[in-house]
Chain A
Amino acid sequence: GIQVEQSPPDLILQEGANSTLRCNFSDSVNNLQWFHQNPWGQLINLFYIPSGTKQNGRLSATTVATERYSLLYISSSQTTDSGVYFCAVPASGGSYIPTFGRGTSLIVHP
């Protein structure tokens, strides 16, 4: 099945800093999602981004499908950005079953 690797596994920032999280995948995909898991455990959709660039406030994401990676940018980080960030891609072809990466754990200190 498709392999999904996220880096870095852990990230510690001071409030106000910028960061880039990476998601590499081993095969072509037609769907990629970024999620934020908050400290209470809920997974929140950030982006549905099979290709191109999207922005939502301080967050933006870029997927380069031909090179099999996606990047999540967090600018001017805040303590509320803390949590785990997951990317997920279809297990195969047009599957509606996602394969998750292992996540990047982010801690933002005040």
Chain B
Amino acid sequence: DAMVIQNPRYQVTQFGKPVTLSCSQTLNHNVMYWYQQKSSQAPKLLFHYYDKDFNNEADTPDNFQSRRPNTSFCFLDIRSPGLGDAAMYLCATSSGGVDTQYFGPGTRLTVL
């Protein structure tokens, strides 16, 4: 009965080789979020969707893009990963408004 699912759980890529992380949800929530979290830091919001409406944080690098083809799925594309992009990537959902956020288990990205 997992509600927010992320695949893969662990991803190893090479410097500069594009990678795609996926997130799916069974909650039918309007909002989906992507966060980057580095060691000993709080999650940092990269972007979010309210339905199909895409919102990019001002300091999200251009190297990061996202797609939400339908309500259930959301993807994070890293076009040319650098060593500094190694991190945990967390997907979350909420119904929007004043409500609880639900997180997936995360994808830990290693860049060689």
Give the B-binding residues of A (Cβ under 8 A): 30-31, 33, 35, 40-45, 48, 50, 86, 88, 90, 94, 96-98, 100-103, 105
Contact = CB atoms under 8 A, between A and B. Distances in A.
A96 B42 contact: no
B101 A45 contact: yes
Contacts of A90: 98
Interface in B39-79: 40-43, 45, 48, 50
Given A86-B42, A97-B48, A43 B90 contact: yes
Interface residues of B, number: 25
Nearest to B57: A97
11 contacts: A31-B98, A40-B105, A41-B108, A42-B104, A42-B105, A44-B103, A86-B43, A88-B101, A96-B94, A101-B42, A105-B40
Closest 3 CB pairs of A and B: A43-B103, A100-B42, A41-B106
Contacts of B50: 96
A42 B45 contact: no
B100 A100 contact: no
A86 B94 CA distance: 17
